[in-house]
Amino acid sequence: MADASKDIVDGFPGDKKIIVVFVLGGPGSGKGTQCAKIVQHFNFTHLSAGDLLRAEITSGSRNGVMIQNMMNEGKIIPPEVTIKLLRRAMLDSANDKFLIDGFPRDEENRAAFENITKIEPEFVLYLDCPEDELERRILSRNQGRADDNTETMRKRFRVFKESTLPVIMHYDLKGKVRKVDAAKPVDEVFEDVKVIFAPLIAKV
């Protein structure tokens, strides 16, 4: 496990040591649920790239209008835009431990994050779950999400496998992936997650 003392962001106040854990897994793997439990138990701040983009759009800022226009035109949001929002949220926080959920989505995001923030994650929490179980969960949940139909869902699975799995493989080669079986009940998954996070918290 990397020494957190080198995870220092240029421009952070003081020599603020920043610990980042990426939380990755297919759609329906329980990222948000497990992040909420980690926040409560280990005092991390949870940052969701998607939530930050939506909040920026809602704010009506020039940046938000630009993001909305790009989405309306079907364009991909440049990684620099998302990373700047993440970095600003980290700067605004009094915390020094962050869970970044559902990001980086691809290798371009990963490289840009490391280049811009000068941070490598302490590790990647990978919530591994079979596709048939993910499909069952997404179709059974009743949240009124327009994208929770079979065709869209399978496209999301395909994007995850083609774009995000290479990120996980990159960090796995560096010994930075902590994989848990996310097909188990929520509380059992969190018991496995606690075993992963406890040594990190003890170290810092």
The residues, ordered by sequence, that sit 6+ positions from 128 with a Cβ below 8 Å of its Cβ are 25, 29, 179, 180, 181, 182, 183
pLDDT number for residue 15: 58
Quote the distance between the C-alpha of residue 27 and its chain's center: 12
Binding residues: 28-33, 54, 102-105, 109, 141, 145, 156, 184
**According to the model, what pLDDT value does residue 151 have?**
77
- Please check whether residue 201 is in contact with residue 19, taking contact to mean a CB–CB distance below 8 angstroms: no
| Residue ranges of the chain whose pLDDT lies below 50 | 1-11
Per-residue model confidence (pLDDT) at position 2: 38
Q: What domains can you pick out in the chain, each with its CATH number?
A: 4-188 (3.40.50.300)
Confidence at residue 146, expressed as pLDDT on a 0 to 100 scale: 53
Tell me the binding residues for CMP. 109
pLDDT tens-digit readout, 12-44: 555 567 899 999 999 889 999 999 999 999 999
CA distances to 16, 60, 102 from 140, in Å: 43, 34, 21
pLDDT the model gives residue 140: 79
- The string of DSSP codes covering 44-75 is PEEEEHHHHHHHHHHHT-HHHHHHHHHHHTTP
> What residue numbers does the annotated binding site for ATP cover?
28-33, 141, 184
User: In the prediction, which pLDDT does 11 show?
Assistant: 44
Q: What pLDDT shows up at residue 72?
A: 86
Q: Residues annotated in the binding site for a ribonucleoside 5'-phosphate, as ranges?
A: 54, 102-105, 145, 156
